[in-house]
Amino acid sequence: MAAKKWQIGAILMVLGAVFTPSVVMSDDSSLSDSRQFTFSWPYADKTDMAPRGGSGGGAPVELAKSAGEQWARLRAPGLTDKERDRLAILAMAGPYRASFDYIETVGFIEGYVPAAPYQGWGTEFVYAVTDEPDFISLQHIMVLRFDSSAGMPAEPTVIKHWRQDWRYEQRRMHTFHGNLTWKLTEQSRSESKGRWVQSVYQVDDSPRYMAAGRWQHRANFSSWSSDETWRPLPRRESSVRDDYDALIGTNRHTITPSGWVQEELNLKTVLDDEGVASEILAREIGLSRYERISGYDWRAGDEYWKRTATFWAITRDVWADYLQDENTLTFRQSADRIPLYAAMFEMAESSQNTNLDSDATRDAIKKMLQRYIDED
């Protein structure tokens, strides 16, 4: 029981703090002393521009030595455009060492001072939760191993991370409009033809952003580029910044022989009370690399997902009902000083797939979400 309490406490600590779970893992402890960007702010005070994110000694990892079957299937001749798109999305599933880099590159306001860049690491397994002809759902699960010599337990910490859903030729989307509000938008048939909508969800399965884009397949890589989309502040920013309200930007996902890369180009935007962009503070570049690894022990993550998958499936269904029924959805990230993710993680831990009462669980989840959702 003590170990379980530590596990939940560690999850809440790393999700609620500046030092998010992605920053504690590295396969080389020397990285903490040598992290650099190839371009930066050479005249800024070095102490002010030290990357946020922390450091730590994690278990060593081994990069995969070959591209693997997913890559071979993606590059096979004779596929239709849609089938190659699907294989590109499915190629993001699997075991990865992830790295996360964000840096402001341009400031747009008088007296601008660049914020410290952000760097982080983690080990993630991406599960293909759903694989249907027009719909694919990928769930990211972190399995973190801490340095026991630093006084932290040696057993792995498992954290349900973000989720990405992909739907072919989807026309209806709930897009972020600032002030924790999502509104229904709709594309025409011609606009959606041949395109995929990526829907990204928070760790608690609440909506984050949706964007449409088209896959392009080259001789040795495949890329999906999104339309411009609005997003709420990610936790790496909301935990330390309160001077802007939204990110406006684009995403590009690129599949390579060794894994995949997510590139972001974001504008840090101030909104007025009506949700209209009133000022742009800075432009930010983000780069997340997912490098395929082998030989890593994912059993703790597998066991967690086996134990809680039914609970999270019901949670997804409840959120889908809200999005289906509401043209405008506004919700709070905290209620009574309890973040939504903390409440949902505790519910997941207390739920077991064996003999889980689906109706009772659905009612409990809806009752919990009603504390956070504004239904006026």
The string of pLDDT tens digits covering residues 333-373 is: 889 999 999 999 999 998 877 678 899 999 999 999 999 99
**Is pLDDT at 245 greater than 70 in this prediction?**
yes
Q: What is the mean pLDDT of residues 74-96?
A: 98
Q: Which two tokens stand for residue 215?
A: 């896959």
CA distance 62 to 359: 44
Q: Tokens 């504390």 — which residue? A: 371
First to last CA, the chain: 41
SS3 (DSSP) at 341: helix
Residues 42/270, Cβ–Cβ less than 8 Å:
no
SS3 (DSSP) at 73: helix
| CB half-sphere exposure, 226, CA atoms < 13 A | 24
Local structure of residue 41 (DSSP, 8 states): -
**Is pLDDT at 41 greater than 80 in this prediction?**
no
Between 339 and 32, name the one with better pLDDT.
339
> CA 365 → CA 16, 28, 59, 205, 322, distances in Å?
21, 41, 36, 12, 12
- Tell me the β-bridge partners of 137: 130, 165
CA distance 128 to 138: 5
Q: Tell me, rounded to whole angstroms, the distance of Cα 120 from its chain centroid.
A: 13
**Would you say how long the chain is, in residues?**
376
**Predicted local confidence at residue 150, as pLDDT:** 59
Q: Nearest Cα to 166, choosing from 199, 132, 129? A: 199
pTM for this model (two decimals): 0.89
**Is pLDDT at 224 greater than 80 in this prediction?**
yes
CA torsion, points 69, 74, 79, 80, in degrees to nearest 10? Answer: 140
CA distance 205 to 126: 15
Q: How confident is the model at residue 38 (pLDDT cuts 50, 70, 90)?
A: low
SS3 (DSSP) at 274: coil
Segment (H or E) for 182: strand 181-186
Burial 136-148 (b: 16+ CB within 10 A, else e): bbbbbbbbbbbbe
Share of the chain above pLDDT 70, in %: 85
State the maximum Cα–Cα separation within the chain, in Å, rounded to a whole number: 62
Mean pLDDT, rounded, of the chain: 88
The string of pLDDT tens digits covering residues 278-288 is: 999 999 999 99
**Is pLDDT at 375 greater than 60 in this prediction?**
yes
**Is pLDDT at 1 greater than 70 in this prediction?**
no
Q: Give the least confident one: 33-37, 175-179, 322-326.
A: 33-37
Report the 10 Å Cβ neighbour count for 72.
12
Q: Which two tokens stand for residue 292?
A: 């395929």
Q: Which two tokens stand for residue 339?
A: 């973040």
Q: How confident is the model at residue 36 (pLDDT cuts 50, 70, 90)?
A: low
Q: Give the least confident one: 140-144, 159-163, 207-211, 347-351.
A: 347-351
**Predicted local confidence at residue 7, as pLDDT:** 55
CA distance 52 to 23: 9
Q: Give the least confident one: 21-35, 85-99, 291-305.
A: 21-35
Between 150 and 361, name the one with better pLDDT.
361
> CA 115 → CA 150, 238, 268, 326, distances in Å?
29, 13, 11, 37
